[in-house]
Amino acid sequence: MDAIAQIGPSIRIKGEVTSQEPLIVAGHIDGTIQVSGHSLTVAAGARITATINADTVIIAGQVRGKVQGASRIVVRDTGNIEGDLTAPAIGVADGATVAGRVQTDARTAKVLQLAS
Rg (CA), the chain: 13
The CA distance from 29 to 39, in Å, is 17
Residue 9 pLDDT: 95
What integer is the mean pLDDT of 64-86? Answer: 96
Q: What is the band of 106 on the pLDDT scale with cuts at 50, 70, 90?
A: low
Three-state SS for 60? Answer: coil
Please, are residues 51 and 65 in contact by the beta-carbon 8 Å criterion? yes
Instruction: State the DSSP H helix or E strand holding residue 34, giving kind and residue range, or none if neither.
Output: strand 28-42
pTM beyond 0.85, yes or no = yes
Tens-digit pLDDT profile for residues 11-38: 999 999 999 999 999 999 999 999 999 9
- Nearest one of 17, 51, 24, 64 to 40, comparing CA atoms: 24
**What is the average pLDDT score of the chain?**
90
Domain range list for the chain: 5-115
